[in-house]
Amino acid sequence: MINDYPQVVTIAGSDSDGSAGMQADLLTFFAKKVYGATIITACVAGNSFGIHAGVNMEPDFIAQEFKDLADDFKIRAAKTGMLADSKIINSVADNYEKYDFGPLVVDPVIITKHGNMLLEQEAYDALVKRLLPMADVLTPNFFEAVKLTGLDDQDPDFQAKAAHNLQELGAKNIMVKGRHDSDDQTEVTDYVLLEDGSTFTLTGPYFNTTHKNGTGDTLSAAITAELGLGKSVEEAIRSGKKYVDACIKNGIDVGHKFGPINHWA
């Protein structure tokens, strides 16, 4: 018997400890029952204490990865994660324009929640100019939204204003994720602006845990999987949020400092 699983792709970096990057994406794709292909952009060596080295792929190699998938697969949705430098961003944008890989979820990975820079400074303009306008769904974390918009993060309407600002830059649907860096908070609220102008918020419990590496990757991969399964953007976002919350809540005992979440949840 041949089973038919929708094919999706993550265009992202490899993280050696398996907690984030394309490893988290593939675990999410597996859990969501979609077939996950990979276009690798960079490799980082690290563990739960941090990232210690990195190597970037060459644009020609990335172009070949795109071509090989396009020649053989029917990719129904894609996401980008860590893109590392401007050559890689331009290569990804050029190749995405060339092939039909379905809706694109852009997780604008600029800086991790632990302060590791994952995008070189000179790549920033390329991300804003080339990739943001291609995003069917854009999922900045709170601090990425501050950097991308320059808006006042103390403004109570910051997330709503940032989402509208990012839509003006060309992204169709935007999810501005909430802050989760205070042990005093009890909830985390993500804000969503859809292409048709409608908005909603998703509020979940705040989980006070050191095991939350890869939450952004997992959320954007889950959204990508749901889009690949034919769900609407709103359904994909709501379901992605539910999945990542379950993965954080149920924990897993791996690593000694900032560990991974539980993709079996």
Ligand X SMILES: Nc1ncnc2c1ncn2[C@@H]1O[C@H](COP(=O)(O)OP(=O)(O)O)[C@@H](O)[C@H]1O
Site for ligand LCLJCK34, rule CB under 6 A: 12-15, 20-21, 44, 81-82, 107, 109, 112-113, 118, 213-217
Residue with tokens 């993550």: 10
Establish if 259 lies at the interface with ligand X (CB under 6 A): no
- 178 is an interface residue for ligand X by CB under 6 A: yes
Residue 204's binding partner out of ligand LCLJCK34, ligand X, none, with CB under 5 to 8 Å set by partner kind:
ligand X
**How would you class 238 by CB atoms within 10 Å of its CB: exposed for 0-12, middle for 13-18, buried for 19 or more?**
middle
Report the DSSP beta bridge partners of residue 125.
Answer: none
Cα(135)–Cα(99) distance, rounded to whole angstroms? 15
- Minimum gap (Å) between residue 129 Cβ and ligand LCLJCK34: 20
Return the number of the residue (70 or 252) whose C-beta is nearest ligand LCLJCK34.
252
Contact partner at residue 81 from ligand LCLJCK34, ligand X, none, CB < 5 to 8 Å by partner kind: ligand LCLJCK34
Our CB check for ligand X shows the closer of 190 and 226 to be: 190
Q: Is the dihedral of CA 157, 165, 150, 108 positive or negative?
A: positive
Kindly state whether residue 204 participates in binding ligand X, applying the rule CB under 6 A.
yes
Sign of CA dihedral 58, 63, 66, 72: negative
Q: Which of residues 211, 241, 259, 262 is near ligand X by CB under 6 A? A: 241
Asked if 224 and 10 touch (Cβ cutoff 8 Å), the reply is yes
- What is the rounded distance in angstroms from the CA atom of residue 63 to the CA atom of residue 94? 9
CB of 118 to ligand LCLJCK34, least distance (A): 6
**What is the enclosing helix (H) or strand (E) of 54?**
strand 50-56
Binding mask 29-58 for ligand X (x = CB under 6 A): ------------------------------
